[in-house]
Amino acid sequence: MTISEQIPNGGVAFRRRGEGATAVVFVHGFLDDQSVWDTVIDELTTAGIETIQLDLAGLGERAGASGPFTYDQLAAEVGAVVDGVGKPFVIVGQSMGAPIAELVATARPERALGLVLLTPVPLAGTRLPDDVVEPFRSLGADAAAQRGVRRQLSVALSDADLDRLVSVGLRVRPEVVGALVDCWNAGLDDAPEPSRYAGPVLIVRGSHDGFVTEDLVATAVSPRFASAQTLVIERAGHWPHVEQPAALAAQLDGFLTEHATGADDNTAADVRPQGWTNAFASKSADAFGEAFADDVVLEASVLTRPVEGRDQVMRVMGTASGIYESLVFTQEASAGRRSYLEWEATAFGGMVLRGVTVLTKDADGRIVRAAIHHRPLGAALRFSAELGERLTEIADHFYDDGGLEAGGR
């Protein structure tokens, strides 16, 4: 069932489809509207998700909206929708929508489970010279020119799809077309390098996209992310979501299954799934690493002294998550940049452990300090000894089997 809603006092309407603990937010690109995602959403098979679609200001049903048509303003409006939905989310942005999606995810690291960039223009802009970009500025109200650009940058648009996209683009006022071109061509003045988004990233391009080329992605998009996966949709140009919707949906399903589902299994109703909890669900060292700052410090009652540095901490946490037979986060609280998670777990054939994890984050949302308190003491010491057996190269950080001396003896 599709439900239409509007952000109170914000004027931004959006559509919700499906039910689930995780939202998948779709941000369309230049001259398009939210309807370009309909077929992809129809093809998705991932359970437990709700999809969100909206029109950007100046486009679609919001063709009459006023500016400014800047990345900051557009991201603020999409962010207001995400906050209104109030769920952990994966955000998908196409072309001009990709930088907007990155800004929304970066501003909400606690709830942003993943970022998908489809035929993305760089956040810093394409920086095309005036003679190249001027034809794009002149597309407003010119059906023949819009049809020509669409046809040039695609390989599998049907005549019906081409007609529909042109009709959507003709609704955009000429002055808005020019402002949006200036937005994606100039980009964000202070675009951070590398990206401040530390979660999982999927970058998708069309095999025959003559605008967002393999070279552009390799030089100006993927290097900005620490752990981005890049893939190609065959027989697609700049609009794979329209040209090859089933192929794109299959890739999205894989990404959602890996990064946005399964979290409910290890979080109670009052605990929001987030990077930390999802990493325990996946039992992946890499998943932990995506949440950490480079200088992260891990303290724990199972350690004889802190473990320091992203690589070392992610190895310890990945190994620890593999020892647990079950783990559920039962309560959550936060104060400023510090959050507190209570948890219950089992290991070693049903031995019960309980504890509290305290996470401290920097201004970019990355964890700079994690303090994990285990109880009871006997179970904690056994857990420490097991870690020492599995991580022999840093065994002196753990207690031995007797529980009184540091591992490494």
State which H helix or E strand residue 338 sits in: strand 338-347
Q: Which domains does the chain have, with CATH numbers?
A: 2-259 (3.40.50.1820), 285-397 (3.10.450.50)
CA proximity to 284, closest of 386, 399, 195, 199: 199
CA distance 197 to 101: 11
Secondary structure (DSSP) of 194-259 = S-S--S-EEEEEETT-SSS-HHHIIIIIGGGSTTEEEEEETT--S-HHHHSHHHHHHHHHHHHHHH
At 18, which amino acid appears? Answer: G
Give the per-residue pLDDT at 403: 47
pTM of the model: 0.69
Give the per-residue pLDDT at 55: 97
Lookup result for tokens 């010119």 = 142
| pLDDT less than 70: residues of the chain | 1-4, 7-11, 261-273, 282-284, 287, 401-409
DSSP helix/strand/coil, 168 = helix
CA distance 169 to 164: 9
CA distance 390 to 399: 13
Secondary structure (DSSP) of 180-206 = HHHHHHH--TT--SS-S--S-EEEEEE
Q: How many Å is the Cα radius of gyration of the chain?
A: 23
- Cβ atoms within 10 A of the Cβ of 400, count? 18
Terminal alpha carbon distance of the chain: 63
Give the per-residue pLDDT at 282: 63
